[in-house]
Structure 1
Amino acid sequence: MPNPAVSLTDKARETGKSLFPLKAVFWGKVFLYIKITRIEAKKMNQVAPFYADHVGSILRTKAIKEAREKFQSGEITTQELREIENEEIKYIVEKQKEVGLKAITDGEFRRAWWHFDFLENLDGVEGYDAAGGIQFSKVQTKSHSVKITGPIDFTTHPFIEDFIFLKEAVGENHVAKQTIPSPAMLHYRGDMEYQPYIDDADKFVADLAAAYQKAIQAFYDAGCRYLQLDDTSWSYLCSDEQREVVRERGFDPDTLQETYKTLINESIKYKPADMVITMHICRGNFRSTWIAEGGYGPVAETLFGKLNIDGFFLEYDNERSGDFSPLKYVARPDLKIVLGLITSKTGDLEDETAIKARIKEASEIVPLNQLCLSPQCGFASTEEGNILSEEEQWNKLRYVVKIAEDVWGK
């Protein structure tokens, strides 16, 4: 039996042969492995989500804020507001390109809210001034919500025209990314006033899924190939406090999880093969505050194993998000996990070594080429925005790109 303790160097001395051929073979295999790994990584990065990506919303510029104030006071028309929005969207499109991002959004510049603006333009849904705002940690949003007043459908929607403008502004060498709320958000946030749905909850879910099927096809026909569903309901189902709120509303949290699984899978059932649909799981993001806390454990098996989503943007910027162990349920080799390790709630840059160490830690559960990096959320889920400067925001996005290039290559 050969002595396993005898080194290659000892073996070379015994035989009088040069060690160089053995070294050449060894390092040749190492370099070939690195080359193959890099090629595989490059292939994976041709399809969204990208190794350096972002959730979508951008701090509203001064021009946007002033234009909205003037519009609200009647000083400018709808058309004049839109023209200002167009120019500011063109500006941030170029800024996103400049920092190195491949996925480009309109920053949600035409919206006041990340979810209500889309939902209240569905047939059968109306926006209204609610009795109170949404309660975050130590702060509350302005009063607004949506209610279901008739049969849900998708016929015409202003977001389609908005996307067409974005795609034209983005051009050929980048990918225009559209964000909309998950269908679960209308179920979770919408006040039900339509009696047929009160009598038949399954009918509501079926009609809502059908409306989203039409919406997805409409975005596709407009040229969208990268669509993101933004969702807070799944993170609320991870929070003990929010699960109790769900019970107080008359729902069982575990049953609701199954309802949302069915709703989302039905909504994306007819997604074209060359369209990527991701989902951002958010714990709440308003003026740098939050709502929910708790790891992904309670929903992980369903979320990562049973939803037919192409990729998940997951918040992992602090201890409220838990550890990476729930990622063990990621079984599909085509499912991408975007690690939200860079916070969008403050302007301070995280320690680069610590971020890379966390990516390495996650790669022990999910293969590295299935992982990506992004900020944990958008920078302005509502028009008010988080508490950091525009320059700090762009520095954060540059940082995401820089770290991603170090980890996965350019």
Structure 2
Amino acid sequence: MSLTLSPPFRAEHLGSLLRTKELLDARDSKSTGRDQEQHVKEVEDKSIKEIVDIQLEAGFHGVTDGEYRRNLFWGTFFDGLDGFEEVPFDREILRTYMPNVGALLQAGYVPGGSLLCTSKIKHSRSTHVDEFNFLKNHLASKNLPINEIKLTIPSPASYHQRYKDGKAYAPGVYDSDQEYFADLAKVFQEELKVLYDAGLRNVQIDDPTLSYFCSKEMLKGWEEDSSNKRTANELFESYITFYNDCFSNVPSDMHIGIHICRGNFTDSRLVSEGGYDKIAVRLFQDLNVNTFYLEYDTERAGGFEPLKHLPKNKNLILGVVSTKTTQLEDVEELKGRVLAAAKVIAEGSDQTVEEALKRLGVSPQCGFASHSHENRLTRDQMVAKLKLVRKVADELWPAES
């Protein structure tokens, strides 16, 4: 896979956008049957067209459907695979010190079931291609090219990291994580091919799981868990190999980005914190993606020093605008942060700041609605944040605006 693409767009958002009350009400309706399903789809279609218009009016490219067909940011990808099914919730097989699991339990949310691998994993259908095709047809009606579209898909490790050693799959299904990873990598390869053949050229992997390796609390929990047969660093390194296998057949003209953040839980609460220092070298140098979308809106993401490890042939979108607060950040302060990051990158890669800036863009630190019923921002405040991102980009890269 070619890693020499420049960032597709200087101002980006990261997939999920606030849903309308009409859409939430339609989803929350207790009505059932075909008529209700059709009603929900019609509201989804209408809402997606509206949110695309909002993105375009705000000066955004790389538009998404706001993830309006999903209740959660990871959608139904794993549910749509052969081999995964919902089983009764069992706290005993979970690493409860993983930030995502811990946040749910601390909030008092105990699900009725958990998705678990119960048989060999196979790709029988894509649950994303219809999302893309609707966007493709809508943009075509506006005479806009399909390379304006960005689609988000979940982390390959979504249903592995949370489970204790050997518990991510039912007994007898796989003999090792390596076998599990190999089949799951084939599934991602097939999904990406389906999307590529449909015309998609810009994919964003949403992956909060990698940031958990930056969390002191998680690492402490890992060390105290006697059931772990390897160190946390060894698991992280196995994920790099696993992910690269997932992306190994991607054509050179398909842009792969990975969004790494620390969570936007319900009501804008954080899930984890910790700088990138512990994972920066392997992450930036060995993970075969074109672009990193990194959270950098608050101190919980640490400083810019780890960015010195970013190679010359990879891009970075700095998530300096917060989706967790209603307050609009100061434009000059945001520009200063981007320039400070560019200076670190330039020094680490023996470039000028101007050369480093060519590999940078700006975005919010996370999506606006990782879960459908979030967050404390209003729709107008969300639009204001999007316009702020665009303004920062226009002032930093005026020749490209």
Q: Same fold (TM over 0.5)?
A: yes
Q: 2:148 corresponds to which letter in structure 1?
A: V
Find out whether 1:148 has 2:117 as its counterpart.
yes
Q: Secondary structure at the match of 1:301?
A: helix
Q: 1:270 corresponds to which letter in structure 2?
A: N
- In 2, the alpha carbon distance for the partners of 1:369 and 1:262 equals 28
Q: 2:58 corresponds to which letter in structure 1?
A: V
Find out whether 1:303 has 2:278 as its counterpart.
no
Kindly tell me: are residues 322 and 194 of structure 1, through their superposed partners in 2, closer, same or farther at Cα, counting changes over 3 Å?
same
> Which of 18, 25, 34 is the aligned partner of 1:59?
18
Matching of residues 318-357 of structure 1 within 5 Å: 318-331=298-311, 333-357=312-336
Find out whether 1:135 has 2:90 as its counterpart.
no
Q: 2:348 is matched with which residue?
A: none
The structural deviation recorded for 1:47 is 5.3
Find out whether 1:261 has 2:240 as its counterpart.
yes
- In 2, the alpha carbon distance for the partners of 1:131 and 1:169 equals 43
Q: 1:387 is matched with which residue?
A: 376
> Which of 185, 205, 218 is the aligned partner of 2:158?
185
- In 2, the alpha carbon distance for the partners of 1:200 and 1:163 equals 34
User: In the TM superposition, what whole-angstrom CA distance separates every residue of 1:236-293 from its partner, at most 9, and x where no partner exists?
Assistant: 0000111233442625211111111011100000001110010000211112111111
Alpha-carbon contact 1:134-1:141 (below 8 Å) kept? no
Find out whether 1:231 has 2:207 as its counterpart.
yes
User: In the TM superposition, what whole-angstrom CA distance separates every residue of 1:119-164 from its partner, at most 9, and x where no partner exists?
Assistant: 2212211245636894339635562532111111212122211211
Find out whether 1:122 has 2:51 as its counterpart.
no
Kindly tell me: are residues 397 and 128 of structure 1, through their superposed partners in 2, closer, same or farther at Cα, counting changes over 3 Å?
farther
Kindly tell me: are residues 259 and 274 of structure 1, through their superposed partners in 2, closer, same or farther at Cα, counting changes over 3 Å?
same
The structural deviation recorded for 1:201 is 1.8
Q: Secondary structure at the match of 2:344?
A: coil
Q: Secondary structure at the match of 1:77?
A: helix
User: In the TM superposition, what whole-angstrom CA distance separates every residue of 1:319-341 from its partner, at most 9, and x where no partner exists?
Assistant: 1100000011112x231111000
Kindly tell me: are residues 158 and 116 of structure 1, through their superposed partners in 2, closer, same or farther at Cα, counting changes over 3 Å?
closer
- In 2, the alpha carbon distance for the partners of 1:311 and 1:280 equals 9
- In 2, the alpha carbon distance for the partners of 1:201 and 1:313 equals 27
Q: 1:179 corresponds to which letter in structure 2?
A: T
Kindly tell me: are residues 348 and 61 of structure 1, through their superposed partners in 2, closer, same or farther at Cα, counting changes over 3 Å?
same
Q: 2:46 is matched with which residue?
A: 87
Find out whether 1:166 has 2:166 as its counterpart.
no
Structure with greater contact order relative to length (CA < 8 Å, sep ≥ 6): 2
User: In the TM superposition, what whole-angstrom CA distance separates every residue of 1:50-99 from its partner, at most 9, and x where no partner exists?
Assistant: 110111100111111011012x4427532221121111111101111010
Alpha-carbon contact 1:116-1:127 (below 8 Å) kept? no
Alpha-carbon contact 2:6-2:315 (below 8 Å) kept? no
**Which has the larger displacement, 276-285 or 246-255?**
246-255
Find out whether 1:112 has 2:85 as its counterpart.
no
Kindly tell me: are residues 140 and 109 of structure 1, through their superposed partners in 2, closer, same or farther at Cα, counting changes over 3 Å?
farther
Alpha-carbon contact 1:212-1:268 (below 8 Å) kept? yes
Q: Secondary structure at the match of 1:95?
A: helix
Q: 1:341 corresponds to which letter in structure 2?
A: V
Report which of the two structures shows the higher radius of gyration computed on alpha carbons.
1
Q: Secondary structure at the match of 2:338?
A: helix
What are the ranges of 5 or more consecutive residues in structure 1 without an aligned counterpart? 1-43
Count of residue pairs brought into register by the alignment: 364
Q: 2:96 is matched with which residue?
A: none
Find out whether 1:74 has 2:47 as its counterpart.
no
Q: 1:283 is matched with which residue?
A: 262
- In 2, the alpha carbon distance for the partners of 1:140 and 1:279 equals 30
Alpha-carbon contact 2:185-2:246 (below 8 Å) kept? yes
User: In the TM superposition, what whole-angstrom CA distance separates every residue of 1:336-383 from its partner, at most 9, and x where no partner exists?
Assistant: 111000001112101111111101101102211111100000000011
More helix by share: 1
User: In the TM superposition, what whole-angstrom CA distance separates every residue of 1:299-327 from its partner, at most 9, and x where no partner exists?
Assistant: 10011000011001100010110000001
Q: Secondary structure at the match of 1:117?
A: coil
**Which has the larger displacement, 370-379 or 157-166?**
157-166
Alpha-carbon contact 1:197-1:203 (below 8 Å) kept? no
Percent identical: 37
- In 1, the alpha carbon distance for the partners of 2:123 and 2:260 equals 24
- In 2, the alpha carbon distance for the partners of 1:170 and 1:380 equals 23
Q: Secondary structure at the match of 2:325?
A: coil
What are the ranges of 5 or more consecutive residues in structure 2 without an aligned counterpart? 92-99, 346-355
- In 2, the alpha carbon distance for the partners of 1:404 and 1:73 equals 45
Alpha-carbon contact 1:126-1:149 (below 8 Å) kept? yes
Alignment RMSD, CA only? 2.1
- In 1, the alpha carbon distance for the partners of 2:362 and 2:90 equals 39
Q: 1:311 corresponds to which letter in structure 2?
A: T
Kindly tell me: are residues 145 and 305 of structure 1, through their superposed partners in 2, closer, same or farther at Cα, counting changes over 3 Å?
same
Q: Secondary structure at the match of 2:183?
A: helix
**Which has the larger displacement, 114-123 or 370-379?**
114-123
Q: 2:271 corresponds to which letter in structure 1?
A: I
